[in-house]
Amino acid sequence: MSGLIDYERLGRVSDLLKRQRIIRSAAQEGRVRDIEIEASEILRSLRDDEREALDALLRGGGWELQEYDDAMPGVASRARVWVLIRDAETREGSPLSLEPAWLRLALRSNETRATTIYWFMFIWLQTLSFLYERINRPVSAVSEYVSGIIDRDELEERIQERLDEIRALGDRVMVAGPQEGDATERQRLPIAQTLLAGEDGHTRASDIRRRVGAFLKVMEDGFMIERIASDAGSERYRQTLLGAVQINQSYSSGLIHLVPVEQTLAEMDRRLAAETAPGDTADAA
Amino acid sequence: MTSGEASPTLTVTIPRLNRHPSWVHFLASVTRLVDAHDCARQVGAPQVIAPSEQRPGLDSGVFPTVAWRLLEWLRDRETEGALDYTDITPFVDDIAPLFGLAATDVQYIATLLATPTLLRYADRPDAEASTFQVKSTSDTALLDKQRRGHAYRLTRVGREAIGFAGGYFKWIHASAEAQKLLIDLRNGEYLSFRSMAQRLITRIRSESLEVLRAIERPEVDEMRTIYLRDAKKFTATITEVRKVLDDVQNELLRPEVREDIDSWSAGQRAEDAVTVSDMNELIRIAFSALRTLQMRLSTFTVDVQKRDRALVGLIRFDSIAKGLFMLPDTDVRSAADYLAGVLAGAGPLLPDLVAFAPAQLERTIKIQRRHEKKPPGFRRIGVPVVVKDRLDTFVERNRALLLDMLGEGPVSLTKLMEDDRIDFQDLQYMAEAASLLVSPLIMLHDDPKMRIRIGLGDWTTWTLPDGWEMSGRELIMRYEPPGSKDGVKSKGRAA
């Protein structure tokens, strides 16, 4: 049955979606807010023409609405989940941006935007390493979003380790440089230099802790990760369905360009080999 | 070949979907349960360390294979009619060279299968019981051995093992499994109906998840091969299962079936009761799971045909992070903007504005006034020193003059501000002068025979010393005896 499209209802859903980008009709743990339940009821009751109108409305702003049922792991029994996915190509006209994230991650008010972005990217890649690489999960494996865990202490340790490694490497590069003791070689790694230098020329553990704390909060507020119950004293998070779908969706248009060419070539070789000899992976014993 | 000479072998890691022989599924399903039985853990020990993934024994895996082949060989002898002990020498002669074993190795395996072992498990008679019982069985030997020689036969447990392994639920059998629902329903086996329905739902969902994995992990080519090869059979099975579920649903609509279920259910304990509504719900879930499976299979098939999926393998994010450090300055000039662009596509976007809805605006668009330093009041600083308010100071300085002016007639705000005799040095704002008029108590008036009344006059515009204009109702203060009819009684009356 068709009728007049009630844009007031669509507007309410669209408004909530742009605020939190994920709507659940029920949760496996904890309680879903009334406003979310109301929006999910509207979404469930939309006629085809209303749904098309909503999709068009969102598409105009560079968004795509995707719907999942309880066949997706992590979705409560008989529940539905809607996620609002950003079209990676659309940059303008959105009320959502990363500017608030930069403000919250900066340790000082006069910190340069580039410094904050380097830090954000560095911590973000490490969390992705926990969520994907550690559990041998490709970015397209959305349904495994419930498996990866980020432990805050572990993340901080990992970051400290990487900084130490780069610091050691930086020293070696300097020594092996054309002019021993000259800082010119170090100048050639500006991102490393930015991350290694804190307020007093040395990034301290407390700086890392503050950055990681702010980062996790921003990710949580952006509905990319959610905190999960864990032992007292530990702070653990897992990816949300929104986070997993968004990474998969935008991988080809952004993240892929960060993958070293050698890795892409090795992957292609591996796939070619697999296509040549489909079946089992084998090694002589 | 003797046992010391291992033949060249190839270790093959079989992907999940590349089906193992059914006995391997059976063995895999009980391996860790046997470990749980055998673990020597002290009750209450604080350690929760995961057990080793390694198992003792030979890496070649020949012994379990020989054991299973022996069971199957003896089953075949039974099928042929031999229910007596059978000499396994022909089996030993065949199998030993095949796996590079000695005859004694095979005989050892036969003896192992024929040796009983004690299996213990804990059980609670019912949910309310406060203690549990330890139950045990040593009925675990799979073979009976003749007293002398190498003749064996299957025990009941041995036959069951083969039966369990043979009963492995393959998707291709799903419609036959679904038929069991109808059989149970028609025979009043309602508890069995519940467990069969749950088993079917689990199987459908598990298959659905496998298809999803095949969609999401395009690099797992084995999955593609299997699904593409079996796509027709797969779809046919879905159709058959749906048909059976339709039949079950129709059966559940029959009044006599519903009555029978209701009367049976009434006589059961709460945890055992299965109502018509429970059954309908199980069927509904099965239908829903089936629909999802069909949709995923369709997506998968289309996806494979398109063959244009982006190359999405395992990404070494940690390496990318390290690579980021190593970016030379020639590449880094626009790196921040580029990285911000990547994050804008996949990162945590947050609202630029704090509010979107009018209900949330209150705190955001309300003008944030700079907090003026509070005028000194009656605050105590260390020792009790009284610091006077500016208004108090003003009143103290001008009190006599103000009362005189009031004695002469009503005093309006305009009159007050324009009177040159009044010293305004203590007051900084017009509002403070106005507050004097609306708060006569601060005049410290203590004559019980007189009252100070406050009223509103006409609209007035005041030009302030800094050039700003301010408009509002005139404020008028009167000094008169109580009950005077001459006072300002209503707003808007002219001064």
Span A189-198, pLDDT tens digits: 778 878 887 6
Q: Is A71 on the interface with B (CB under 8 A)?
A: yes
Assign A231 to helix, strand or coil. coil
Q: Is A269 on the interface with B (CB under 8 A)?
A: no
Give A-chain residues touching B329 at CB under 8 angstroms: 187-190
Task: Centre a 10 Å sphere on the Cβ of residue B168 and count the other Cβ atoms it contains.
Answer: 16
Return mean pLDDT, chain A.
81
- H helix and E strand count, chain B: 17, 10
Higher pLDDT, A271 or A230: A230
Residue B6 pLDDT level (bands cut at 50, 70, 90)? very low
Q: How far apart are CA A67 and CA A88, in angstroms?
A: 19
Return mean pLDDT, chain B.
77
Q: Mind telling me how many Å the CA of A20 is from chain B's nearest CA?
A: 8
* Terminal-residue alpha carbon distance, chain B: 127
- Cβ atoms of residues B123 and B112 within 8 Å: no
- Cβ atoms of residues B186 and B267 within 8 Å: no
The tally of CA atoms less than 13 A away on the side-chain side of residue A52 is 5
- Cβ atoms of residues A79 and A241 within 8 Å: no
Span B117-176, pLDDT tens digits: 999 998 876 666 778 888 899 999 999 998 878 899 999 899 888 888 877 677 778 888
Q: Residue A179 has what pLDDT?
A: 44
The predicted complex's ipTM stands at 0.80
Q: How far apart are CA B160 and CA A161, in angstroms?
A: 55
SS3 content of chain B, % helix, strand, coil (to 5): 50, 10, 35
Residue with tokens 């369709």: B298
Give A-chain residues touching B364 at CB under 8 angstroms: none
Q: Any long-range contacts for B392-399 (C-beta under 8 Å, 24+ apart)? A: B392/B442, B393/B426, B394/B423, B394/B424, B394/B426, B394/B427, B394/B432, B394/B436, B395/B436, B395/B442, B395/B443, B395/B444, B397/B423, B397/B426, B398/B422, B398/B423, B399/B443, B399/B444
Residue A199 pLDDT level (bands cut at 50, 70, 90)? low
**DSSP category for residue B383:** B
Kindly report the backbone phi and psi dihedral angles of residue A232, in degrees, each rounded to the nearest multiple of 5, phi listed first.
Answer: -60, 135
Q: What is the mean pLDDT of residues B41-65?
A: 84
Of chain B, the percentage scoring pLDDT greater than 90 comes to: 16
Q: Is A69 on the interface with B (CB under 8 A)?
A: yes
Q: Does B12 sit within 8 Å of A98, measured CB to CB?
A: no
Q: What is the mean pLDDT of residues B212-217?
A: 77
Q: Residue A108 has what pLDDT?
A: 84
Q: How far apart are CA A67 and CA A59, in angstroms?
A: 15
Q: pTM for this one? A: 0.61
Span B240-286, pLDDT tens digits: 898 999 999 899 999 999 999 998 888 877 777 888 999 999 999 89
For residue B394, which amino acid is it? F
Span B362-393, pLDDT tens digits: 445 444 555 555 555 544 444 444 545 677 77
Surface of B (238-297) touching A: CB under 8 A: 288-289, 292, 296
Q: Does A69 sit within 8 Å of B288, measured CB to CB?
A: yes
Task: Centre a 10 Å sphere on the Cβ of residue A144 and count the other Cβ atoms it contains.
Answer: 22
Span B86-119, pLDDT tens digits: 899 999 999 999 999 999 999 999 999 999 999 9
Which residues fall within 8 angstroms of residue B87, CB to CB, at 6 or more apart? B149, B150, B151
Which candidate, A183, A161, A165, places its Cα nearest to that of A174? A183
Q: What is the mean pLDDT of residues B37-61?
A: 83
Task: Centre a 10 Å sphere on the Cβ of residue B377 and count the other Cβ atoms it contains.
Answer: 11
Q: Does A96 sit within 8 Å of B352, measured CB to CB?
A: yes
Residue B451 pLDDT level (bands cut at 50, 70, 90)? confident
Partner residue opposite B352 with nearest CB, options A69, A95, A142:
A95
**C-alpha distances out from residue B255 to A245, B129, B250, B302, Å:** 47, 38, 11, 44
**Which of B216, B299, B308, B315 to substitute to test the interface with A, most A CBs within 10 Å?**
B315
Q: Does B311 sit within 8 Å of A121, measured CB to CB?
A: no
Kindly report the backbone phi and psi dihedral angles of residue B49, in degrees, each rounded to the nearest multiple of 5, phi listed first.
Answer: -80, 135
Which candidate, B202, B89, B98, B193, places its Cα nearest to that of B146? B89
Q: How far apart are CA B345 and CA A250, in angstroms?
A: 6
- Cβ atoms of residues A273 and B219 within 8 Å: no
Higher pLDDT, A231 or B220: A231
Kindly report the backbone phi and psi dihedral angles of residue B376, in degrees, each rounded to the nearest multiple of 5, phi listed first.
Answer: -60, 135
Q: Residue A230 has what pLDDT?
A: 74
Q: Is A129 on the interface with B (CB under 8 A)?
A: yes
Rg over CA atoms, chain A? 23
Q: Which helix (H) or strand (E) holds A130?
A: none
Q: Does A126 sit within 8 Å of B318, measured CB to CB?
A: yes
Q: Does A255 sit within 8 Å of B346, measured CB to CB?
A: yes
Residue with tokens 């349960």: B33
Q: Residue B17 has what pLDDT?
A: 45
User: Which range among B11-20, B72-81, B187-196 has the greatest average pLDDT?
Assistant: B187-196
Q: Does B336 sit within 8 Å of A117, measured CB to CB?
A: yes
Span A85-126, pLDDT tens digits: 987 666 666 778 888 888 888 888 888 888 899 999 999 999
Res. B486: pLDDT tops 70 = no
Residue A44 burial (10 A CB sphere; 0-12, 13-18, 19+): exposed
- A213-241 as b/e: b if 16+ CB within 10 A: ebbbebbebbbbbbeeeeeeeeebbbbbb
Res. A67: pLDDT tops 90 = yes
- Residue B307 in tokens: 């063959």
The β-bridge partners of A228 are: A236
Res. A151: pLDDT tops 90 = yes
Give B-chain residues touching A160 at CB under 8 angstroms: none
- Cβ atoms of residues B23 and B75 within 8 Å: no
Q: Does B317 sit within 8 Å of A126, measured CB to CB?
A: yes
- Cβ atoms of residues B103 and B114 within 8 Å: no
Give B-chain residues touching A260 at CB under 8 angstroms: 319-320, 323
Partner residue opposite B348 with nearest CB, options A101, A142, A258:
A101
Surface of B (298-357) touching A: CB under 8 A: 309-329, 332, 335-336, 339-353, 356-357
Surface of B (432-461) touching A: CB under 8 A: none
For residue B10, which amino acid is it? L
**C-alpha distances out from residue B348 to A104, A131, B19, Å:** 12, 16, 41
Give B-chain residues touching A38 at CB under 8 angstroms: none
Partner residue opposite A138 with nearest CB, options B222, B313, B342:
B313
Span B308-345, pLDDT tens digits: 444 456 778 888 888 777 766 555 556 787 788 888 87
The residue count of chain A comes to 285
